[in-house]
Amino acid sequence: MLSVKQELLAALADELEKVSPGAGSRAAFESPKVAAHGDLACTAAMQLAKPLKQNPRALGEQLQAALEATPAFQKWVQAIEIAGPGFLNIRLKPAAKQQVVHEVLAQGAQYGYQPARGEKVLVEFVSANPTGPLHVGHGRQAAIGDAISHLYATQGWSVHREFYYNDAGVQIDTLTKSTQLRAKGFKPGDDCWPTDADNPLAKNFYNGDYIQDIADAFLAKSTVQADDRAFTANGDVEDYENIRQFAVAYLRNEQDKDLQAFNLQFDQYYLESSLYANGHVDATVQRLVANGKTYEQDGALWLKSTDYGDDKDRVMRKQDGTYTYFVPDVAYHIQKFQRGFTKVVNIQGTDHHGTIARVRAGLQAADVGIPQGYPDYVLHTMVRVVRNGEEVKISKRAGSYVTLRDLIEWTSKDAVRFFLLSRKPDTEYTFDVDLAVAQNNDNPVYYVQYAHARICSVLRGWREDYDVAALRDVDLSPLEGPQAQALMLLLAKYPEMLTAAAAGNAPHDVTFYLRDLAAAYHSYYDAERILVDDEAVKQARLALVAATAQVLHNGLAVLGVSAPARM
C-alpha cells in the first residue's frame, strides 16, 4: 500500500500545485480520527482557503472534483467525501489495501525499513558504575535504549551503542573499602561497620551479599573477564589498588551477565577516567576559561551557565581542586561530537534532569560547533515491582533493591523487555510479576506472541513445511471482508509508525501498535475461517495472515522480543 499511497500523494501534489503554486510540496495525508470516516484524510482545502481568500468548503469541492479525475484516484480510490468546513475523507478500494500484503511478503524482515541515510547516531544507555548488580531501573533503561537503537536502524541510521561508566572516584572507593573489610573477615553489624545513617562513614560501605562474593573471589586469587577488561586478584587484603581493580572487573563481569541475560550488547565501553587520562577534561576547562565563560568566586571556578538558559551558574571546580560531575560530562559530549556523531541520544533516569541544562550550556560555551539542543535526552522513572500483590524492594543479591536478573529469573527476558517498554519512559510503572507469567489475554506480551504463534499454527495446518514465498503473488481479490480490510490497513501503517516512533524516541508506540495488530488479527481469525475448501480464497487468506505474522515478528524484533512459532 506504500506504493499506492505514493501514487495518490503525487496526484494530490500535482492538483495542489495547480490551485496554488508551491502548495504541492506540502501535500500530505492524515489518518482520520474516526475509522468510519475513511482510510485517508486531506486538510489542504482548509489550509489554502485563507491565503487564497476562498471558502474552504468550496475549495474542497473543487479539489475533490480534480482528484476524482486523476488516473491514480480512479484506480485506487472508491470515494472522496466532503466533511465539515472542507475535510476530504478518502475511501480506498479493496485492491489498494491488498497491495500491502504483497509488499510485506516481498520485503520480509526489511518491511518498514528506510534506505541508509549516511548518518551516525550514538545511543548511550545503562551507563551503570560497577558498584553493584544492575537494578530494575537499569533494566528499564536497557530496554528503552536498545529499542530506540533498533528504531533508528529501521530509519537508515548507523547506530552505535555506548556504555559509559566511572572506574574511579568516590563510589569505587566505597566499593573497595567494603570489599576489603569483607576480605578481612568483617561483615555488616560488626563494630567496625558503620550502621548509623547520620554517620557520614556509613555511606562509605555497601552491605549486599555480593560484596562477600567479591571478597571470596579475591581471596581465591581468581581471574575475572568482562567485555572491556580482565584482572587477576593477588589475594593480599592490604593491597588496596589490587582490590579496587579486581572489584571493578568482577562487577563489570556481573553486569555483563545481566546484559547477556537481556540479550544486549554494546559497541563500546567508555571510561570516565579516560577523559582525565587523555587530557580531555583539562582541555575542556581551559577552552571554557579562554572563551570568557567562567569566573572565580569563593575559591571555586564557575561556569556562566545562566548565559545559556540555566537557572543559575554552576560550580566547575570546587575549592578542593576537584571537578564537579558535569565537567567530565561536557568533555565526554565534545568527544562524541568530534567522533562524528551528529546525533546523540542519552537514556537516563529522571534524577539526571538537572544535568541537561548545565551540560548543554557547557557545550555551547565551549564553542566547538555543536548545535543547540545537543544531545537529546530520554528520561525514565524508576520501576516498582509487585509480586503476590505486594511490593518487592529487597534482593538478597543486592541487599537493597530488586536486580534485573531477579526480574528475568522470575519471569522471562521477553516479558521484562515488553513490560518495561509498554509505557512512556517518564511515566511511573509498576511491574506485576504475576501478570508477566500469566498465559492469558491480560498479559500483553503473551497476547502479542500468541497471535504470532497462532498464525504459525494455521500455516502449519496448510503445509507442515510451509514457505510463505509461495504466497507472494497470489490473487488477493477475495480479501474484501471488513475484518480483512481493517487488518490490511493496520499493516500499512507499520512503516509510518516506526518513523514517528524513532522521531519521538518513543518505543512504547511499537508496543501499542503490536497490541492493536494482535487484536485485529484475533478479530479476523474469529470472523473468517482461513483453511477453507475454495483454493483461491484459502490462498488469499493465508497470504494475509502470513503478512501479519511477518509484521508481528518485525515489531517484536524492534523491541528485542522473540516471536515464537509455538506456545
Give the residue from 316, 300, 408, 403 showing the smallest Cα distance to 361.
Answer: 316
What pLDDT is stored for residue 192 in this prediction?
Answer: 82
- The x, y and z cell numbers of residue 445, run together, are 506480551
Q: Full-prediction pTM beyond 0.85?
A: yes
How many CA atoms within 13 Å lie on the side-chain side of 191?
Answer: 0
pLDDT (tens place) for every residue of the chain, 567 residues total: 778 989 999 999 999 999 999 999 989 999 888 878 889 999 999 999 999 999 999 999 999 999 999 999 999 999 999 998 989 999 999 999 999 999 999 999 999 999 999 999 999 999 999 988 899 999 999 999 999 999 999 999 999 999 999 887 788 988 999 999 999 999 888 888 866 555 555 456 888 889 999 999 999 999 999 988 999 999 999 999 999 999 999 999 999 999 999 999 999 999 999 999 999 999 999 999 999 999 999 999 999 999 999 999 999 999 999 999 899 999 999 999 999 999 999 999 998 898 999 999 999 999 999 999 999 999 999 999 999 999 998 665 556 788 899 999 999 999 999 999 999 999 999 999 999 999 999 999 999 999 999 999 999 999 999 999 999 999 999 999 999 999 999 999 999 999 999 999 999 999 999 999 999 999 999 999 999 999 999 999 999 999 999 999 999 999 999 999 999
* 526-530 contacts at long range (C-beta below 8 A, 24 or more positions apart): 527/481, 527/482, 527/483, 528/481, 528/483, 528/484, 530/458
What pLDDT is stored for residue 206 in this prediction?
Answer: 85
- CA distances (Å), 464 to each of 42, 213, 551, 552, 563, in order? 46, 50, 21, 21, 18
What pLDDT is stored for residue 198 in this prediction?
Answer: 53
- List the domains of the chain with CATH numbers: 2-92 (3.30.1360.70), 125-277 (3.40.50.620), 441-559 (1.10.730.10)
What pLDDT is stored for residue 334 in this prediction?
Answer: 98
Dihedral pair phi/psi, residue 194, rounded to 5° = -60, 140
What pLDDT is stored for residue 221 in this prediction?
Answer: 98
Residues 28, 26: Cα–Cα separation, whole Å: 6
